[in-house]
Chain A
């Protein structure tokens, strides 16, 4: 059974600091990994995706993937109060072919 685990938080980070969000997944054959941000009552917004081991940077966000450890992380640099949201990690078994398995999300609070 596919599982995606995240610490539910809340994770409290001071404004301007780096927020670090972590995720592990159970199916070693998973090929694509996504980070979404979700505000209360809204649908998820894609932050970034990654499918190769290593780091991928996009502005203030860096996704890190370690397939050997079945671990994905998201770093948010220069955290802003507007970054306060629930961050969902999602995994796709076959690249471009399947629905997503989501973790329960980490509630991030950026303290002004």
Chain B
């Protein structure tokens, strides 16, 4: 199956700093990528949909100025958490859809990034 990578896998930062998380589709072109967030013992919540070359679409309640998403190429989307605070500590997971080979209509998930804000 298709592979999606995320970097970094873990990051610890101080409150007030910004953190960038990368999501890459390694062996396919992803016209659409999705960003999810998962708090401990909670389910995944869709944050935003990222389409290559256009602005991201954010879910209700997600601050677009705080969670900046850039999808500049067909293989890379980035999520920047700006002015991070302890309540932003979470597990951030991206997924990518490959329409060209989307035989199974599957979203391929990355391994996730654990963000801890001190």
Contacts and interface: CB of A to CB of B under 8 A. Distances in A.
Nearest to B59: A99
Interface stretch (A39-47, A59-67, A69-77): A39-47
User: Interface residues of A: mostly helix, strand, loop or mixed?
Assistant: loop
Contacts of A96: 97, 99, 102, 105
Contacts of A49: 104-106
B74 interface: no
A41 B111 CA distance: 9
A99 B49 contact: yes
Interface extent on A, as a size class?
A: 20 to 34
B44 A88 contact: yes
Interface in B91-118: 91, 93, 95, 97, 99, 102, 104-107, 109-112, 114
Interface of B: 34, 36, 42-46, 49, 59, 91, 93, 95, 97, 99, 102, 104-107, 109-112, 114
Interface of A: 32, 41-46, 49, 51, 88, 90, 95-96, 98-105
